[in-house]
Structure 1
Amino acid sequence: MRDLDPANLDCLAALADEGSFERAAQRLAVTQSAVSQRLRSLEAGVGAPLVVRARPLRLTEPGKVLLRFARQWHAMRADLARELGAGLSVQERLPIAVNADSLATWVLPALDALVQEGQERGWSLELVVDDQDFTHEWLRQGAVLGCVSTVEQALRGCQVLPLGMMRYAAVASPGFVQRWLPQGLTRGNFAQVPFLVFNRKDDMQTQWVARAFSVREPRLRECHVPASEAYLRAVEMGWGVGVLPELQAREAIARGSLQVLHPEVTVPVALYWHQWQLQTPADTPGGRLALLNRVGSALAAGARNALGPDGGGPATRRRAQRGGRSPR
């Protein structure tokens, strides 16, 4: 493999971020032909194709490996510039991946002070949202520098920090219960009752039913609502039974727009913060490693404050549970 040109690495990162040659060219302020030429040069040096030219384009496996190197190179280059007093680029951003339910509940308050500071100092967080069993794939591919995930084992070249436990409960609106569940939700009727599902990756509802009724691989009537806030609203409107974080459902339960079904059964989900171990001085002012460490510390503090010792928030009582995890 020949020496890698930093401009070519910038090109690969732009293609990965923007998803097309046209937008990558606009980001780099060059022509599309220049982007194509840089990519061909990089592929020739590596000896393998790096992107699949589709709409949107996607990286090959060698491309993902090289993108991780490109991200780390960019981070070290930025930290070196700071250490030498070259200042901070207004384009500086720190991409991290989080799951939708955490974003809808505790992540934004946890990161608020850090984001406000970053706006003043010229850097920003970029939040990428995916299911919590899949956010680590963004980290593995090099698309983000850190992620909130259910994966406990640290990825190669990364460090991991436990964040805490989120607990999920089954809830429904009083009107839905009156219409569909006058005798309650039971082993005999769950298959006929509508359940709201976040997306096709989401198996939280089947996990909850399996725990509640000791049923293997239950089949449910599903209605998909792929956004955390809209999902909560749909449950309140009576679209179906929802399985929500206790932290998210707490206010609706308190005001009576939702009620808990089988409150003795919840699904606990352990969350972890993963981040790259960048080989740069940790005490570089504003350096990416220092910023990543601060993001991790802020998320850990925010999770402790929001989730409490039992995963449902300070006001949620402890309940005896069985183990499990969720992809949402």
Structure 2
Amino acid sequence: MNLEHLKALVAVIDEGTFEAAADLLRITPSAVSQRIKALEASVGQVLVRRRLPCSATDAGALLLRMARQVQVLEAETSAALGSGSAARAHLPVAVNADSLATWFVPVLHQAAEWEDSALDLRVEDQGYSSQLLREGEVMGAVTSDPIPVSGCKAELLGSMRYIPVATPALRRRFSASGGVDWAAMPVLKFNTKDNLQQQLLTGKPLRQSPPTHTVPSSQGFLAAVKAGLGWGMIPELQLTDELESGALVRLEDAEHQDVALYWQAWTLDSDRLNRMTAAVRAAAKGRLLPGDAAEANGPSRAGYRRQK
């Protein structure tokens, strides 16, 4: 498989069109098309779906992952030989928005010192980020999937705790004789993949579904809860002094949901990838709950969230 053909495959999938890939590679769109066709001929399968944006077929995803690995190893080898020290290798990584807003921040501080790498973050729900590994889109991912993707290794980082909170005014407004009127009090959700709130409501005797607002942003979600728009499951790490100051209150002291997070990465002997893994591991240590708290606590339920 020709290295230039593999580079064209990566460019087409990353940029979305043959024209954009041509601009990136500084060749003509016709040359990009010829390289993709030659690569497809060499493997005997269609690798790229010609649509807007272009996407990889199942066979293309396999070659895409290999192509990214080759690019990383090529950059590291060139640097070791002294012929590519100025090149920055791209490190595509998937991380969920709640992690990015909290415990993952120290990784960014470390990455700022890496002069040989360019971090390419893909924000995706932790329950779906492993799919990006399967498709060859990323080299590593923060995921809730403990089963390693083929060609990857997985390690437990710890658990992220979510607690149900609301403003005191909203809590008083929807108080019932037995506690919270869950059927009437408005609830927030992050997006269609967010089922954390629904998991808590599943155990409640509801006569109807509560009014539901959608706020697809970690910071915006917290701001909406603080504004009294509704109640929501907020990462404990994201609550700085809201509970202590009384700006927010827990709806039920014993209620919480713990989401076990894993780091999955390619089984590739790469200095850059190993460094990324070490940074993620160090950032999680002391910030996430040790071990799989969702299993250790029994009644607590793991949930999925957050995309953007």
> TM-score higher than 0.5 here?
yes
5 Å matches for 1:189-268? 189-211=181-203, 213=204, 219-268=209-258
Aligned CA distance change for structure 1 residues 79 and 122 (closer, same or farther; 3 Å): closer
CA contact (8 A) 1:51 1:59 kept: yes
Kindly report which structure 2 residues correspond to 1:34-183, keeping only aligned pairs within 5 A, or say none.
Answer: 34-109=31-106, 111-118=107-114, 121-181=115-175, 183=177
Specify every segment of 5 or more residues in structure 1 that has no aligned partner in the other structure, as ranges: 281-288, 313-318
SS at match of 1:128: strand
Q: For residues 107-163 of structure 1, give each alpha carbon's deviation from its aligned partner in whole angstroms, at most 9, with x where no partner exists.
A: 012x14421211xx2322111100001111111111111110001122221111211
Q: 2:279 aligns with which of 298, 301, 322?
A: 298
**C-alpha separation in 2, matches of 1:229 and 1:27:** 34
Q: Which of the pair is proportionally richer in helix?
A: 1
Deviations 1:77-103 (A, max 9, x none): 222223323233434221111011100
1:277 pairs with 267, 289, 299, which one? 267
| CA offsets 1:8-51 (integer angstroms, 9 cap, x no match) | 11011011111112211111111111111111111122222212
Of the structure 1 ranges 88-97 and 68-77, higher mean CA displacement relative to structure 2 is found in 88-97
State the alpha-carbon separation in 2 of the partners of residues 179 and 311 from structure 1: 36
- Contact residue 12 and residue 67 of structure 1 kept, 8 A: yes
Q: Structure 2: which amino acid aligns with 1:230?
A: G
- SS of aligned partner of 1:106: coil
Q: Percent identity?
A: 39
AA matched with 2:42: G
Structure 1 pair 321/10, CA: closer, same or farther in 2 (3 Å)? Answer: same
- Contact residue 157 and residue 291 of structure 2 kept, 8 A: no
Q: CA deviation at 1:232?
A: 0.4
Q: Secondary structure at the match of 1:167?
A: strand
TM-score scaled by length of structure 1: 0.85
Q: 2:198 is matched by which residue type in structure 1? A: T
Displacement of 1:308 in angstroms is: 4.4
2: CA distance, partners of 1:310 / 1:163? 7
| Unmatched 5+ stretches in structure 2 | none
- Cα distance in 2, alignment partners of residues 30 and 200 from structure 1: 41
Q: TM-score scaled to structure 2, two decimals?
A: 0.90
Q: CA deviation at 1:309?
A: 4.1
- SS of the residue 1:270 aligns to: strand
Counterparts of 2:111 and 2:178, CA distance in 1: 45
Q: Distance in 2 between matches of 1:220 and 1:14?
A: 46
**Separation (CA, whole Å) in 1 of partners of 2:73 and 2:87:** 17
Give the superposed CA RMSD: 2.3
